[in-house]
Amino acid sequence: MTALVRMRLAGFVQTGRAAAPLLAALVVLSTLYGGGQAQAGEAYGVSAAILFAVLAWQTKILLDVEPDVQRRLGRVALGAARETAAGLVAALVAGLPVILVALILPWLVGGVTTPGEGDPALAQGIALGVWAHLLLLLPAVALGALSSRAVSAQTARGLAILVGGVVLAIVLGLKQSPAPWLAPPLMTAARDTVGGADAAAVLVTTGWGLAWAVLAVAGYAALRRDRP
């Protein structure tokens, strides 16, 4: 399975497809931080919410770059479960450099200011920011996988799943939403980061994000089994 992960990552990078989501993240985040300084928690909270869409899109690109015949050969050689897992692991690994860039960029462009009186400590803001980025990576990969060609079969359908999932996560993440648990905790994680959430809130949001990601991955695996 390790060889298949490496092969998918190599194909993603060597074909140049890795550049598009990374450049998109740089442009959007540079524009965001260029608007003025913010505390670390606030900056990272917005960054994590923005990167959710970018990481989901990146996952779709990574999974779609592999030819269908090659994917079928992988399923024959490794089995459906390990072949599916290899794609998800590759997408998770590919997302880490993007997150690292997002964590470093605000310091390079002067987008972070020191906390004022009554504001969360700098270390707390940074820790919550790292947590939010890593937590939202999991449902982002799951959404991107659900929109991949292996499931959707058609480009337009895959894009509809991707865009619809991101919009749904934003809409259901609003405070007045009656059923926020139907979507990943995109806006909740951002609010927790901005507001300096305590350990209990972090645990609840983490459990919510992990549960949503697990269910989405289970749906992805089930749909993949129904397709050659």
Whether pTM > 0.85 for this model: the answer is: yes
Percent of the chain residues topping a pLDDT of 90:
40
More confident residue, 162 or 70: 162
Contacts of 10 (CB under 8 A, 6+ apart): none
Q: Which domain holds residue 114?
A: 2-225
CA quadruple 218, 197, 191, 31: dihedral sign? negative
Please report, as a single letter, which amino acid is at residue 18: A
Q: Across residues 66-72, what is the average pLDDT?
A: 70
Using one digit for the tens of pLDDT, what is the confidence trace for 15-41?
Answer: 888 999 999 999 988 888 776 677 888
Cα–Cα distances in angstroms (integers) from residue 107 to residues 25, 88, 198, in the given order:
15, 30, 25
pLDDT at 207: 96
Percent of the chain residues topping a pLDDT of 70:
89
CA distance 71 to 151: 12
Total domains in the fold of the chain: 1
